[in-house]
Chains A and B, each alone.
Chain A
Amino acid sequence: MKRLLVLALVALGSTAYADCVDPVEKAKLIAQKRGRRADERDFVKTARHELTVQGGYYVSDLLDGTFVVGGAYTYHLTEDAAIEASFGYSRVSSSVAARLERDRGVTILPKQDRVYLVFTDLVWSPVHGKMRMFADSIIHFDIYGAAGVGIIDNATSFGAAGQFGLGTKIFLSPSWAVRLDVRDQLYKQQILSVRQYVNDFSLTLGVSVFLPTRL
């Protein structure tokens, strides 16, 4: 009887926690939790179309800072690479030039003040991250660089232009994102007989929708 009791107690002691974790199941669960591959993202961009509406501030090198509004279409070839076509509209003026024109009785800038910006860019998003906001919500985002060529159609512009810049895209849902872009437009501008290369900067905030919206 004593032996039976001892055996029972030993059996009880040895099985107290031994059966608790199935090693195979544990390994599977750990693999699910830790072994997440880089291509398993919450927000998938590959082979999706992105439509953007954006607007912001356009700082002309020679002229005054002004608004810019526009849109963009982006096709994401992979998670990291995309091609983008963008369009922007602005109106430029120069308070300094206006003053000089008044003081000296000359015409420096043409009357037509509208600016059209049409560009195609290569977009590279090497950085994908997530941030914690207000203790409990996790938001995913991309940081990307863009470079391309295009046309700045303006009375003082020679047309062809290059642009490069940086941006960040914050993903709010599987199909919506907010984006912030800084771009430097480099082109040749002529005022009177003087031609010079100028750097115009644009800072825009936009909203994007990714198509198809449901994957």
Chain B
Amino acid sequence: MVCSRRVTLRRFAVLLGLAIVVAGALADCAFADEPCLDTDAELGAAGRRKGVQKRDFLKRLRLEVSAWGGFFASDLLSTSYDYGGAIAFYPGEDFGFEASLVVTPFDLAVERPLTQFFAGQVFKKTTAFVVVGDFLWSPIHLKLRVSERSIAHGDVFFVLGAGDTVSQTVQGITFDAGLGLKLYANKWLAVRFDLRDYLMVQEAVAVQRVTNNIVGLFGLSLFIPGPRS
């Protein structure tokens, strides 16, 4: 009687052990499905899209000081070079405020042939200073493959603003709108390309009209203070 009870207990123990092993194996499978063996996903749960990622370059609460130069394609006057700089402040990652200066010579080359025939030059070459304040909006963050192993981060941004052109040929307010590309070389420095349209009422040789002046700029930017931890 005692022997048969022992046998029964031993069988029960074996069955219990097997049940635990089977349950453990089943539990293993349950875990396995979740994080790693989903054949539909590239890397299971770990391979899912990361969504909005942390940016490598942060602009928030930083000051950007830029120096730039390029061309000033004038509508009424002659095309010329330009140079200048800008200071911007970013209250957020996507928007900022900028004050900029563009210095360019204003000349009227189409008048030059006439001055060879007739005495007296009507238009005198001057230097113009275009000072504007802009609202910056950077809705597009991008990554560029610079070489086989390096990726550069950047922003596409839009500007809209107004200001004044210090020149005798310009009357009233100067408006500007444009877009640009900024590539971040490191945590401090960026390379920028700007393309802007400066709208102003301009006068030359008694001709007065609204002009669209296309300005292309290439510049370097320094962000201060350094990146926050």
A63 touches B110 (CB 8 A): yes
Given contacts A1-B10, A20-B37, contact A65 B207 (CB under 8 A): no
Of A12, A15, A33, A97, the residue contacting B42 (CB under 8 A) is A33
State how many angstroms separate the Cβ of A36 from the closest Cβ of chain B: 11
Complex contacts, B35 vs chain A, CB 8 Å: 20
Q: Hey, which chain A residues are within 8 Å of B13, CB to CB? A: 1, 4-5
Known A-B contacts A131-B140, A133-B140; the reply to A15 vs B111 at CB < 8 A is no
User: Are A99 and B109 in contact, with the CB atoms below 8 A?
Assistant: no
Q: Do residues A11 and B21 form an inter-chain contact, with CB atoms below 8 A?
A: yes
Which residues of A have CB within 8 Å of B173? Answer: none
* Interchain CA distance A32-B160 in the complex, whole Å: 43
A182 contacts partner chain B, Cβ-Cβ < 8 Å:
yes
> What are 27 residue pairs bridging A and B, where the CB atoms are less than 8 Å apart in the complex?
A4-B14, A5-B17, A11-B24, A12-B20, A15-B28, A16-B28, A19-B28, A21-B37, A26-B36, A26-B43, A29-B42, A38-B148, A59-B213, A60-B79, A62-B109, A65-B73, A65-B212, A95-B207, A96-B76, A100-B110, A103-B205, A108-B110, A130-B142, A143-B144, A192-B117, A194-B112, A194-B113
Across-interface contacts of A32 in B (CB, < 8 A): 42
A176 CB to closest chain B CB (Å) equals 19
Interfacial residues, chain A to chain B (CB-CB below 8 A) = 1, 4-5, 7-9, 11-12, 15-17, 19-22, 26, 29-30, 32-33, 38, 57, 59-65, 94-100, 103-104, 106, 108, 127-135, 141, 143, 166, 168, 182, 184, 191-194, 196, 198-201, 203
Residues of A within 8 A of B18 (CB): 8
B residues 1-44 with Cβ under 8 Å of A? Answer: 9-10, 13-14, 16-18, 20-21, 24-25, 27-28, 31-32, 35-37, 42-43
Q: In the complex, what distance in Å separates the CA atom of A17 from the CA atom of B28?
A: 7
Chain A-chain B contacts (Cβ-Cβ < 8 Å), number:
171
Task: Report the Cα distance A168→B74, complex, angstroms.
Answer: 23
Q: Which 8 A-B pairs have the closest CB atoms?
A: A12-B24, A131-B142, A59-B73, A129-B144, A192-B113, A1-B13, A65-B75, A194-B113
Contact status of A94 and B110, CB under 8 A, knowing A4-B13, A12-B21: yes
Q: How far is the CB of B170 from chain A (nearest CB, A)?
A: 15
* Residues on the B chain within 8 Å of A131, using CB: 140-143, 156
Establish whether residues A133 and B139, one from each chain, have CB atoms under 8 Å apart when the complex forms.
Answer: yes
Give B168-190 as 1s and 0s: 1 = Cβ < 8 Å from A's Cβ atoms: 00000000000001000000000
Known: A193-B116, A200-B79. A99 touches B206 (CB 8 A): yes
**Interface of B toward A, CB cutoff 8 Å:** 9-10, 13-14, 16-18, 20-21, 24-25, 27-28, 31-32, 35-37, 42-43, 47, 52, 71, 73-76, 78-79, 108-114, 116-118, 122, 139-146, 148, 154, 156, 181, 193, 195, 204-207, 209, 211-214, 216
